[in-house]
Amino acid sequence: MNSMGSTMKLGGVSLLSRWSMLYIFLTLVITSLAFQNCGKGFSAKDSLNYHTFCKAQAPSQSPFANGKLQLSSAQQSGFSKASSEPIQLAVLVDLKCVGDRELSLLGVPLDLAVAHPDLSTSAIPITLPKDSDMNQLSQEAEAEICIRGIAENSPIKKSSVASINDPLKSQQLHLLNLGYDEANPLRSAINQKVVVAILDTGVDYDHADLINRMWNGNGQYGTNLVEVGQLPDDLDGHGTHVAGIVGAQENNGQYIAGLTGSFIEIMSVKILDNNGDGTAARVRDGVQFAINNGAHVINLSIQGPGTNAIIEDAILSAVNAGIVVTLSGGNQGQEMTETNLYMPAYVGPLAGGAISVAAVQSDTNQLAAFSNYSSYYLEIAAPGADQNSSSAGILSLAPNNGTQRIRGTSQSAPMVAGAAALLIGYLKSKGQAYTPRAIEDFLVGSGVNKSVSLQDKVKGGGVLNLAALARNTLAYFDNNNSGNFTGNNLNSSTCTIK
């Protein structure tokens, strides 16, 4: 586990401080513009609530804005003769700028052939010797106009704990917990497509419960960043399980029900190998593929220790492109603090429209023992296990027309992704513009039940509830028939869990 200092430094300025300075700057700019054009398709009104909403959606700086080399203190210590391991980095390259040229850093060539053929920018892995000179690396990066940034190529893993096969397809206790049936009025009112990108181990696109729900924009159901050129199939099972939670076909007489409906399209972006392992470079390029191909929601059921500028840049790019991003909170059972951070969840509160998710048990709504927690970094909770048992995971799909139970914040995050897709689908069907921050604000304010026991574990103590989301969404439009969706929680009627 990487350890950080009391502040997270990016380019010599703490991440939190930089956002504070950006807020002050944007306050002046937005005020001078009479609060116009603050979000995509959105004209704001002169009020504090609208101002807060617009501020969060204004364009945000990349972590690389103040210097191309952005490494954690732990990684910087690797640039010494005492280090025993080669240094694994990801270099963000503008491929159009490079053209046919060859690039190298410290004499090590960049293998541009690994770049995804459809991306104009790509995170290229590079391995440098253990005694590399960090100052020279920084100078070379700053001098090369086609390099946008360099960060650790951090290892990431799927964010689940344990799994067993379970043929009992009716035991989806999380649906009862979420108020699934009560959300039918919202679900049935949606007539517009919503694309949810599952960045994971792939998806079994031939599964009988998913085949009619797959995105097929490029004839390949998505993309494969692990085995480039191959279809994004799933030999591990994690991605198929996550996809089933979001969009398994309901009312077809077999397997399970997903949270959404016939309006959903699942985009499979394979960034993890068949053991559930991946890198920051693949996360970044997977996010960029989803942006370029029209995703409305991105789910990242992954985890890794510490921070990473490449992943921050990817998430900021997504929300500023109008995409909601859901982030699993991690399964270490630890409190997330400034000195104990886990990616990608720590980015949630720093980027409007990125939502970090903790796990609760379906039977009690208590925090699951494996789930990380924080009243700041974790913004909402959702079921990640049915009970406090290693065999009581969430029931969803498995490859080869199977089902299985898996527990973890990997299962909580796609529940929030599904809820976001429901809200987005309804807004699109109503012809309403929105921003990712508006979706987040409404979900965490009006799409939850409040749990007293979670007040110090999750920001606001909110547990996702589809019944509350449906009730409050319909009420919102009963009372707000004009203008675009702001996400203000003026009609919230959520209850409190004792």
Which residues carry out catalysis?
200, 238, 410
What is the distance between the alpha carbons of residues 464 and 260, in angstroms, rounded to a whole number?
Answer: 14
Contact 414, 244 (CB under 8 A): no
Which DSSP string corresponds to 267-302?
EEEE-S-TTSEEEHHHHHHHHHHHHHTT-SEEEE-E
Selection from 356, 363, 343, 388 nearest residue 458 by Cα = 356
What is the distance between the alpha carbons of residues 296 and 9, in angstroms, rounded to a whole number?
Answer: 31
**Chain centroid, CA 243 distance in Å:** 14
Selection from 160, 176, 161 nearest residue 362 by Cα = 176
Contact 415, 382 (CB under 8 A): yes
What is the distance between the alpha carbons of residues 356 and 311, in angstroms, rounded to a whole number?
Answer: 14
Largest pairwise CA distance in the chain: 66
Q: Kindly state the tokens that stand for 168.
A: 């009992």
Torsion 12-376-314-319 (CA) sign: negative
Task: Give the up-direction half-sphere exposure of residue 185: CA atoms within 13 A in the CB hemisphere.
Answer: 11
